[in-house]
Homo-oligomer: A and B are copies of this chain.
Amino acid sequence: MTQTKTDPRILRTRKLIMDSFIELSGKKDFKDITVKDITNAAMINRATFYYHFEDIYDLLEKVLLEVLLINLDYHDYENSKLDEETFINLFKAITKFQQSLSYRCHRSYEETIARIIREQLEVIFYKMLVKEHPTIEENVLKGTAVMLSWGLYGASVEWRRTSKKMTTPEEYIKSVLPFIKNGIGFVSGNGK
């Protein structure tokens, strides 16, 4: 499928900025990183930074989303059904993403990370639901996607908080699947 072409300068400059930010994140906590640090490391002008990003928080979100998309891209689930395997894979992707972030800087923007994960999960669930249940009302599908994304994310929080050291992500998610499936069972017309 054809894609609108982006000016190569934009691609290069954004990459410079994002790569510099990621590298700095390995050295300092997010709250100690300045726009000046980033523009110096990237060797670009401050005005150029602001041409591309609203501020450093905008950059953070976009970097996190880009890194997340490596693990959690709808295209990887386009041909999947909302079944046990899919939930296991999504859960593993979330936990992998969380683990891939540098421990030191993670804590400063955990809320942003959480929101980004949930939003991406919501997008994926919604698209899968639309595909499997095209005749169901959009509001219902939206609500289901919200519930599923918060639920799965919540499971990852609990896993990290209580069970990380003794169970694998795969083992953990299986224990909460029956509840999740009941929700799915409703829209599939399956009985109690």
Contacts and interface: CB of A to CB of B under 8 A. Distances in A.
Interface of A: 8, 12, 43-45
* Total copies of the chain: 2
Contacts of A45: 8
Contacts of A8: 43-45
A12 B45 CA distance: 13
A165 to B, nearest CB: 46
Nearest to A43: B8
A47 to B, nearest CB: 13
Nearest first, the 3 A-B pairs at minimum CB distance are A8-B43, A8-B44, A12-B43
A12 B43 CA distance: 9
5 contacts: A8-B43, A8-B44, A8-B45, A12-B12, A12-B43
